[in-house]
Amino acid sequence: MLEALRVTGWKNYSLFLGDDGTLIGYLECEDFAAAQAGMAATEVNARWQADMTGFFSDLDGGTADEGMRPEVEVFHLD
């Protein structure tokens, strides 16, 4: 999984989990759509999505990676 993330352009990838169950992912990449599509095409991602489906709600029949949406940056210290 880690190698597939690297190869498809995901850098500095982190997940944060709040006490209320809110999951926030952070990553850096050149092109989010391309990085997401690259991972979607891997076999390791298909296995991960199948294993993790039960941990996510409100997927409307999709997978967790299909539900990912970039947030708008409103402040950056640098």
Please report whether residue 78 resides in a domain. no
Residue 49 · residue 63 · CB < 8 Å: yes
Residue 10 · residue 39 · CB < 8 Å: yes
Please report whether residue 35 resides in a domain. yes
* pLDDT (average), residues 13-28: 92
Please report whether residue 44 resides in a domain. yes
Domain region containing 36: 2-51
Residue 9 · residue 34 · CB < 8 Å: yes
User: Which residues are CB-neighbours of 17 under 8 A, at least 6 positions away?
Assistant: 23, 24
Please report whether residue 75 resides in a domain. no
* pLDDT tens per residue, range 33-71: 999 999 999 999 999 988 988 887 777 777 888 878 888
Q: What is the pLDDT of residue 23?
A: 86
Q: Structurally, how many domains does the chain consist of? A: 1
- Number of residues assigned to the chain: 78
Distance from the Cα of residue 7 to its chain's centroid: 15
